[in-house]
Amino acid sequence: MHYFYDALVKELFYNPNFRLDQNDIVLNTYNILSGSYKNNDNEIKMVEKLCSCLHNKKCGKAKLYAVKVHGNRSKAEFYNATNKLVKKELADMVVISLVTFKNQIILEKIAFIQNKKENSKDIKKWSIDQDQLFLLNNFPTFNGVSGIFGKQKNIALPNIFGQLGCYGLFHSDGDMVFANTKIINALQNTNVISLNNLRNESAKNNTLYNTDLLFTPECREDIFYFLKYNLMYPNLIKLPILGNCELALNLYQFIRNWTQLNIGETTIVRGKVINSILSGLADYFMKGSGISNFIKYLKIENEETYDWNSDFDGAVFVLHHNIED
């Protein structure tokens, strides 16, 4: 299994085409979002244009897929912070990262991203729906209303490392801020989050990569082997790959963290399912969007108990690293 980490290191650090492709993807995305703002597009249209921009792109040996699915929105019914029963959409974008070896998924991550467009071009602030933030930040037990959840009852999505719920904040410079819900929840002021607050947080907090993944039994030994023999990193707080990015102030930071496997809640490590519910959910998103037709991988048997619905509305973004290529 050490070959897995050696191959990733060679690709993510020593392949010059990987960094060049990262930058090209960012520039194309900037142009798309900038033009979308000039057209006064809403969040849905902006995400659709992002899908067209990113689908079938390469980043070094990795491939990106992005598909906008038109169907029923995935809504959940749950009790909010004031114990009121409410219904909210989970998110409008799903981001999945895969690493495969011999058609087997070695690593998988998933994140739900709610996109927001700024309130004003001059202020760069975003209004945050508190009930949806409560859902994405806490993932309380909920009942399915529509979309991928169908009519299932008592759904509890495990958010072990706190990386599942996120926001993508578009602003008029043609840029996007990526932020974990924990960041949004802590920094918002009367239901509004500002770019200045996010910048200040980034400046004072230089440990935005947490390393919970290091200490899971499934990968601890291999991760330390990887660090010792490949990076020689004395400080385990900041991890350039296989970590957890909670705040990216612009598209460069977001694309680099996504393609370097720093985005999302971990579901599979070393070919072993550690989060069976989310692993099964990711599989349904890829099948429902048709992206699984582009990727050859063996389905890992797990203890997934939910029968998800393939009918949903939203964008599915998948990054696929095949270390045999």
Q: What is the pLDDT of residue 271?
A: 84
DSSP string for residues in 118-130: -S-TTT-EEE--H
Q: What is the pLDDT of residue 261?
A: 92
pLDDT digits (tens, 9 = 90+) for 239-278: 577 788 999 999 999 999 999 999 999 999 888 888 999 9
Higher-confidence position of 22 and 102? 22
* Average pLDDT value for the chain: 86
Q: What is the pLDDT of residue 177?
A: 95
Residue 179: burial class (beta carbons within 10 Å; 0-12, 13-18, 19+): buried
Angle 205-211-216 (CA atoms, 0-180°, nearest 5)? 160
Check whether 154 has a pLDDT greater than 50.
yes
Its pTM stands at 0.89
Check whether 314 has a pLDDT greater than 50.
yes
Q: What is the pLDDT of residue 302?
A: 63
pLDDT above 90 as % of the chain: 64
Q: What type of residue sits at position 173?
A: D
Is residue 265 within 8 A of residue 164, CB to CB? The reply is: yes
Q: What is the pLDDT of residue 156?
A: 94
Work out how many domains the chain is built from and give that number.
Answer: 1
Provide the token pair at 100. 């495969």
Q: What is the pLDDT of residue 8?
A: 78
pLDDT digits (tens, 9 = 90+) for 95-129: 999 999 888 898 999 999 999 998 776 678 999 99
Q: What is the pLDDT of residue 225?
A: 52
Please give the average per-residue pLDDT across 165-193, as a whole number: 93
Domain that holds residue 41: 2-322
Is residue 265 within 8 A of residue 163, CB to CB? The reply is: yes
Q: What type of residue sits at position 254?
A: F
Higher-confidence position of 1 and 321? 321
Check whether 46 has a pLDDT greater than 60.
yes
Please give the average per-residue pLDDT across 47-71, as a whole number: 95
Check whether 28 has a pLDDT greater than 70.
yes
Is residue 170 within 8 A of residue 97, CB to CB? The reply is: no
Provide the token pair at 27. 């520039």
Q: What is the pLDDT of residue 144?
A: 95
Please give the average per-residue pLDDT across 7-11, as a whole number: 78
Q: What is the pLDDT of residue 12?
A: 82
pLDDT digits (tens, 9 = 90+) for 158-172: 998 899 999 999 988
CA distance 250 to 114: 16
Q: What is the pLDDT of residue 4?
A: 64
Segment holding 204, helix H or strand E? helix 195-204
Q: What is the pLDDT of residue 223?
A: 53
pLDDT digits (tens, 9 = 90+) for 206-242: 544 444 454 455 554 555 555 444 444 444 445 577 7
